[in-house]
Amino acid sequence: MIKIASILLAGGESKRYGSNKLLSPHYHGLPLIQYSLGQLQALHLDATYVVTGRWHSDIADLITINAVPESNRIKVCYNPSWHEGIASSIRSGVSNAMQANDNQYTHVLVHLADLASVTTATLQALLSEIPSNPNHIIYSQWQNRRGEIKATVPAIFPKAAFDSMLALSGDKGAKKVIEDWKNKGQAIGVNHPESAFDIDAPSDWEAYRNTNV
């Protein structure tokens, strides 16, 4: 039986933003972290693990105050090693998911909390690939201005990839795991241009508005 947990990475410092970007208002009227969490919750997966770091208290308080139905399936996980970079947040999310469910999840969906254009519908396109490719990584792909195809998260990782995710280090994210599996012919790319747009600086909201609103 397929059992999927989502991992929402929200542990960064927001250094370029100058404050906690995940509390900044999305154009849908919600704080960015709450918007991203809502898109995941609408998928009705088995659980969502929100990995926090520098801004743990603010994010945890916001999620608690704005608890939604089925909020018992939302687990806020503080990553004390957030200074190391995104790899530590991935390790924290995967390890918490494995421990909480006795390693019964067959897949995890890894998502970044600052991807303001990603929606439930665009994430569902990734999930739709699982029945025909249950043992593959299913990743987002998009084309940059130079015509290069980028392989990124949001991505779905089967259990066989968990050990590789737990071995990640530094600030490189899951790209190495995706590339390794691509080289073995065990990764499927899904066109997902919305995954190309993240919020790094306040000026990015204007770019988002011009493109999406």
Q: pLDDT of 65-97, one tens digit each?
A: 766 555 558 999 999 999 999 999 999 999 999
Instruction: Identify the band that residue 207 occupies on the pLDDT scale cut at 50, 70 and 90.
Output: confident
Sketch out the chain's domains with CATH numbers. Answer: 4-212 (3.90.550.10)
The per-type count for the chain, helices as H runs and strands as E runs, is 7, 7
Nearest alpha carbon to residue 157 among 201, 193, 118, 188: 188
> Residue 210: its pLDDT value, please?
74
The order of strands in the sheet holding 47-52 is: 74-78, 47-52, 4-10, 107-112, 149-158, 137-143, 187-191
> Residue 27: its pLDDT value, please?
87
Reported as a single tens digit per residue, the pLDDT across 143-155 is 988 999 999 999 9
Give the global pTM. 0.94
Reported as a single tens digit per residue, the pLDDT across 154-188 is 999 999 999 999 999 988 899 999 999 999 999 99
